[in-house]
Amino acid sequence: MARYIFITGGVVSSLGKGLMAASLAALLQARGYRVRIRKFDPYLNVDPGTMSPYQHGEVYVTDDGAETDLDLGHYERFTGVSARQSDNITSGRVYRDIITRERRGDYLGATVQVIPHVTDAIKAFAQDATDDLDFVLCEIGGTVGDIEGLPFVEAIRQLRNELGREATAFVHVTLVPYIAAAGELKTKPTQHSVRELTGLGIQPDILLCRCEKPLPDSDRAKIALFCNVRKEAVIPALDAKSIYSVPLQYHAEGLDAEVLRHFGMTAPSPDLARWDDIVDRHQHPEGEVTIGVVGKYVGLQDAYKSLNEALVHGGMANRVKVNIRWIDAELFERDDDDEIAAHLEPMHGILVPGGFGERGSEGKIASVRFARERGVPFFGICLGMQMACIEGARNTAGIANASSTEFGPTIEPVVGIITEWMTAEGLEKRAEDGDLGGTMRLGAYDALLNGNSHVSTIYGATTISERHRHRYEVNAAYRDPLEKGGLVFSGMSPDGLLPEIIERPDHPWFIGVQFHPELKSRPFEPHPLFAGFIAAAVKQARLM
């Protein structure tokens, strides 16, 4: 029987509910339980696919091609359980589906209302395909009291009544702020947040209290008294040095034990050996490297959340600290070689990530050229691979006007829009002027690698599966001139039409990939491309 843990947040946003859900799931998993985590997002977008990274951070893509919230990345990295399209739902998706059914006449003339139609849809989502699970953790996005979140709160209130206390638990994440002038922590915001939640019909079973100072025993007792919970159910959550130490910290404070006590369950102590090893590797490196990430969304690091973590994982694999320097690609648009050198010469590796649009593209191309000419390890991801192909076309293949149709009309479309491609279900098509949302090549696709290539050695395989998110492709018609210029197409789609990986055999480490390997990297299983890239950066550091 699946048991449901509903996670809400109060006082302020950005308290780390997603990280909390991932950490709790990892602890339950370490005790031998089967877990899955789901995210309820109250906003009206159908999914985050059309949202600016500055609005919502990165878009996390699942194997089955869903564009989802970045919290699903935390879920996967901490549990190793691959997320699915059914693990993220938004108000927009709920209302879209209900209105579609209403237009078809599926409701047989009934008045369509928030209760029961919207809340029933949310409840069905929470309980879908859970028969093989021990715990389903559901994170409610936003903050208690938000208007758009009310249907989700009402839905989980109904689920408590329907499933019973023995099958449901409410965990409320709050803030206990430290007032420096008074020299003390204040519990009143938590009390008000819980009062707001109980006013909506939900009494929390466990309180996770975020704080920057240790929570005194007297304050725990005070919170317990005024919030109507056991003192042991008030769990302090101090700021951590690393997100990867959070599961160990929560276990030490008794979070997982309190959850099991609520459900009347007993289990062996969790096996946290791999988390001990992860924290040890992260906190006790044996060296360090500096990686320059040349992108266009560097003003918000959540825009590259999975990329950031994958670089950290690569550092763990090599037991080194990875210092990431976020560099705005527009800095290099002025074609000033001295400025480019000033920023990139200290780097032990250069990474050009994915992105959309023309802004910053010439700066990314200049970064590729610097890495190629100076022999600095280079890693291009999605748009980064496309920029590497355009740089190679212009500077080593003699195609001076090489460009991408994404940036406007061009006589040399080395990169162009893709309007059809093969999937496991058959031919997928999109109109060039069609909708933007959900119309890219999304999700996991196979690639075939050359047996004697650098990437086949890194992967230890000649067939791989990686996740994609893009609507433009490198034009395979330019393969011959690019390869004559030294840029080898070392990975292709199974039908041989779409370039997936490029590399330069005459370079210390120069690889570009059309997919997003960062989405499949885990702290306990770093992605081989990131482990290899950081290993190359370590060698570069020794030469400098």
Any idea which residues carry the catalytic annotation?
A: 382, 516, 518
Q: Mapped to the 3 state alphabet, what secondary structure does 256-321 carry?
A: HHHHHHHHCCCCCCCCCHHHHHHHHHHHCCCCEEEEEEEECCCCCHHHHHHHHHHHHHHHHHHCCE
Tokens matching residue 390: 């355009």
Contacts of 159 (CB under 8 A, 6+ apart): 4, 6, 123, 126, 127, 168
Tokens matching residue 452: 């004697």
Helix residue ranges per DSSP H, 336-489: 337-344, 361-374, 383-395, 454-459, 479-484
Cα–Cα distance, 428 to 183 (Å, whole number): 61
Measure the N-to-C terminal CA separation of the chain; round to a whole number of Å. Answer: 58
Cα–Cα distance, 523 to 310 (Å, whole number): 8
The 10 Å Cβ neighbour count of residue 182 is: 8
Cα–Cα distance, 458 to 454 (Å, whole number): 6
What are the contacts of 370-375 at 24+ separation with CB within 8 A? 370/340, 370/341, 370/344, 371/344, 371/510, 372/396, 372/504, 372/507, 372/510, 374/344, 374/345, 375/507, 375/508
